[in-house]
Structures are given as C-alpha cells and as structure tokens.
C-alpha cells in the first residue's frame, strides 16, 4: 500500500540517485546485483545478532532495488531479464531474513514457515495476474497493489529483526497482512481476467 501511494513522495530522490549512478556508467542490472548482495548480507547480520546493521542494509538494498528500475526506465534499458532478476532477488533477500530468524529462534520456525507460505501464495497470484493481464503499468508487467507490498514487508522484517521478544506476534501479524493481500489480489484478478 505504501509503495502504491507513497512512491510519488520518494520518486525525486530515487530518480536523482538513478541519474547519478547512470552518470557513473553503472547499468541497472549492476545496481540490481549490488542490491541483491547487500540484501542477502542483511540476513547474515541478523543471524549474527547484529540486527541494527542488518536492518540498515535491508533498507539500503530496498532503496537500490527501487533505483535500478528507475535507471532502466530513464535509460530506456528495461529488459525481461532485469525484471526476472529484480523479482527473484527480492524474494531471496526476504528469505535471507526469514532463514536468519529461523536459525536464531528455532521455537519460531513454524510461524516463519507460515509467513513464507503466505508470501509464496501472494506472490504466485501477483506474478500470475501480471503474466496473464493485458494491462501494463510503469513496470514491465501489471502491478497489483495490496495491503502488504514491499515497503510494508521491510517494515515488518525490520520489526521482526529488532524486537525479537515479540517475533511470533509480529510474524503472525505480517502473515495475516500478506494473506489479506493475497485475497485482495484474487478478488481483483477475478475482475480483470474475466
């Protein structure tokens, strides 16, 4: 929801960073790779109980993940491979946090597994609708908005990493939000795919 409605407020910063990185002759896929590396590294720091560093790296990764798409659009260098890398790397970064927390807190694993299933369910709907829809947005596929988008995910992963005494509660709230988003996407899919 924040991605859909708040993006216009941060777009000037994202676009300026994108232009600056293009001037350095960086390509969008280079920045995608950097965002991926930094994002996976965030999971390592969460696992090592250096969660504040992990959360900072997670947000740097997310920022670069937004910048790479802006770079591709500004340079008119969008590609199917870039979209594939972007979506795949996003999930790996998210799972690096889930795995780190599951390794640190074995008693929370079932709840983290349920969260993973909810994310998989919601993303399957999101990607399938994106592939089947004739509608396109500024991205190279149809983007279904919902309650829990990437920024909400980062907020929840941050809370899960920083406030571990409440890990189960935060994880369950996150799972519920993702499941609700999946339901929103199913309702929208029924409307646009008929």
Q: What is the predicted pLDDT for the residue at 70?
A: 95
Backbone angles phi, psi at 133, to 5 degrees: -80, 140
pTM: 0.90
| Interior angle at CA 183, CA 143 and CA 8, nearest 5 | 35
Indicate whether 135 pLDDT > 70.
no
Indicate whether 185 pLDDT > 60.
yes
Res. 171 pLDDT band, cuts 50 70 90:
very high
Res. 138 pLDDT band, cuts 50 70 90:
low
pLDDT digit string, tens, across residues 16-59: 999 999 999 999 999 999 999 999 999 999 999 999 999 999 99
Q: What is the predicted pLDDT for the residue at 139?
A: 58
Indicate whether 3 pLDDT > 90.
no
Q: Which domains does the chain have, with CATH numbers?
A: 2-193 (1.20.120.1760)
- 3-state SS track over the chain: CHHHHHHHHHHHHHHHHHHHHHHCCCCHHHHHHHHHHHHHHHHHHHHCCCHHHHHHHHHHHHHHHHHHHHHHHHCCCCCHHHHHHHHHHHHHHHHHHHHHHHHHCHHHHHHHHHHHHHHHHHHHHHHHHHHHCCCCCCCCCCCCCCCCCHHHHHHHHHHHHHCHHHHHHHHHHHHHHHHHHHHHHHHHHHHHHC
Q: What is the predicted pLDDT for the residue at 8?
A: 84
Q: What is the predicted pLDDT for the residue at 1?
A: 73
pLDDT, average across residues 126-150: 76
More confidently predicted of 80 and 116: 116
Tell me the two tokens of residue 76. 């008119």
Q: What is the predicted pLDDT for the residue at 111?
A: 98
Tell me the two tokens of residue 45. 């720091």
Q: Give whole-number Cα distances, 117 to 10, 64, 144, in Å.
A: 31, 26, 19
Q: Are 193 and 129 in contact (CB under 8 A)?
A: yes
Mean pLDDT of the chain: 92
């Amino acid at each position: 929801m924040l991605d859909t409605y708040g993006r216009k407020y941060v777009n000037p910063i994202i676009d300026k960073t994108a232009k600056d990185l293009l001037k350095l002759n960086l390509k969008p896929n280079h920045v995608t790779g950097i965002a991926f590396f930094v994002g996976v590294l965030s999971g390592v720091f969460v696992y090592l109980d250096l969660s504040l560093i992990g959360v900072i790296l997670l947000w740097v990764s997310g920022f670069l993940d937004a910048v790479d798409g802006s770079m591709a659009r500004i340079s008119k260098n969008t590609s199917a491979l870039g979209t594939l890398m972007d979506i795949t790397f996003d999930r790996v970064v998210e799972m690096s946090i889930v795995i780190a927390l599951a390794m640190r807190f074995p008693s929370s694993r079932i709840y983290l597994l349920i969260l993973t299933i909810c994310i998989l369910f919601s993303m399957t709907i999101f990607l399938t609708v994106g592939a089947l829809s004739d509608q396109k947005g500024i991205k190279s596929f149809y983007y279904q908005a919902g309650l829990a988008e990437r920024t909400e995910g980062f907020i929840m992963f941050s809370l899960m990493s920083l406030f571990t005494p409440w890990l189960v509660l935060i994880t369950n709230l996150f799972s519920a939000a993702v499941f609700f988003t999946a339901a929103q996407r199913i309702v929208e899919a029924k409307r646009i795919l008929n």
